[in-house]
Amino acid sequence: MKLKRLPAWNERRRALAGRYREGLGGLKGVVLPLESPRVRHVYHLFAVRVANRDRVRAALKERGVDTGVHYPVPLHLQPCYSWMGLREGSFPEAERAAREVLTLPLYPEMSEAQVDRVCEALRAAPC
């Protein structure tokens, strides 16, 4: 039953992602996800990058905004890849991304007002 709803849910996520882009575009210290004109993102997550992720995350929490941290350990530092002998510094961009990525709330039932509230909280955070 839910599979029938997937196209509409994906469109809703795209619309909400667009609202995030409008509300956060140009905000210093926040890097928004890139979207290629040749493909359509479904925005399972709306992941931004902020240099002071933990501080930003705490500030958002204080304002009632829950966030997520997905993949906090880069692949080359996962225990299952220890046999490769890679260390911290082997892939600095992956390591930096793992420290900076923060996911903002995004789900099909979310309202525009809720997105605006998240944007307002992030604009007030120490980015």
pLDDT, one tens digit per residue, over 66-102 is 999 999 999 999 999 999 999 999 999 999 999 999 9
Domain boundaries, the chain: 2-124
Selecting from 3.90.1150.10, 3.10.150.10, 1.25.40.10, 3.40.50.10490, what CATH number does the domain 2-124 have?
3.90.1150.10
How many CA atoms are closer than 13 Å to the CA of 82, on its beta-carbon side? 3
- What does the pLDDT look like over 39-67, one tens digit per residue? 999 999 999 999 999 999 999 999 999 99
pTM: predicted TM-score of the whole model, two decimal places:
0.91
CB burial class (10 A; 0-12, 13-18, 19+) of residue 6? exposed
